[in-house]
Amino acid sequence: MNLTSKEKRNLKSQANRLKPEVLIGKAGLTDGIVETSLNSLKTKELLKVKILDSCEVGKTEIAERLSGHLKAEVIQILGNIILFYKKLPDTDR
């Protein structure tokens, strides 16, 4: 899924009003966090994740690993916030 810079800019502007739905702390990336993130992306296209200061894993590593689990694209890493995008499946059938 390759998004253009214009599409990414649009997604970033939509995400400005979102609050982080998933917080990653000292335990790092757990199965529960992956499951919560997957459930969130079943109903929404954008997911905002916050990495807490207590997390010992780097934000880039978490972004790569979580995007692999979610099959979602990392739109932005800004500070301790990671923004993921996954297109919702078409339900017009």
The CATH code of the domain that includes 12 is 3.30.110.60
pLDDT classification of 2: cutoffs 50, 70, 90: confident
Domain assignment present for residue 38? The answer is: yes
Whole-angstrom distance, CA of residue 21 vs CA of residue 2: 24
Q: Is residue 92 situated within a structural domain?
A: no
Domain limits at 49?
Answer: 5-85
pLDDT score, position 66: 96
Q: What's the whole-number mean pLDDT along residues 57-86?
A: 95
Q: Does residue 81 register a pLDDT over 80?
A: yes
- Residue 92, pLDDT > 80, answer no
**Under 8 Å between Cβ of 11 and 85:** yes
Q: Looking at residues 25-49, what average pLDDT do you find?
A: 94
11 assigned to some structural domain: yes
- Residue carrying structure tokens 């694209």: 73
pLDDT band at 89 (very low <50, low <70, confident <90, very high): confident
Look at the block and give the residue holding tokens 């979610």: 70
Helices 31-40 + 59-70 axis angle, to 10: 60
* Residue 28 placed within a domain: yes
